[in-house]
Amino acid sequence: KGGKTKEKVARVSEAEIELFERDLVLEFRGSKLQRRRARKYAEGVMAQRTGPVHISSSESDDGDLTMLQVPQEAVGFVTGRAGNFLRSIEKEW
C-alpha cells in the first residue's frame, strides 16, 4: 500500500528499513539494537496476519516493553472503535 507500517516500524525501532518486493526481503540498517528491534517488530506485524500473537516479557524485552493487564470489561475502551484509540496513542507517541 503506502508503506505506513514500514514507516512506523522504522520510526519506533530507529532503524532504516528497505523492502525489496521482487525478492521478498526486508533489509534493516542501524545499530545492533535498532536492527534487532526492527526485526522483532516486523516479525510481530507479519505474525498478526496469521493469528493471535503472544508476547513473553522474558524473551521479548529489549528495554522497549511494558506489559499491562487489561480487565475484560475495559478491553473495548482500550482498543476503541475499530482500533482507533490505540492508533491515536500510536500517533501521539
Q: Residue 28 in contact with residue 35, Cβ under 8 Å?
A: yes
Identify whether the C-beta of residue 55 lies closer than 8 Å to the C-beta of residue 48.
Answer: no
Predicted TM-score of the model (pTM): 0.75
Residues 69, 66: Cα–Cα separation, whole Å: 10
| Position with higher pLDDT, 40 vs 53 | 40
How much of the chain is helix, strand and coil, in % rounded to 5? Answer: 55, 10, 35
**Cα–Cα distance between 31 and 39 in angstroms, integer?**
12
Q: What is the pLDDT of residue 87?
A: 76
Rounded to an integer, the average pLDDT of 53-82 is 83
Weakest mean pLDDT among 43-52, 67-76, 79-88: 79-88
Report pLDDT for 42.
94
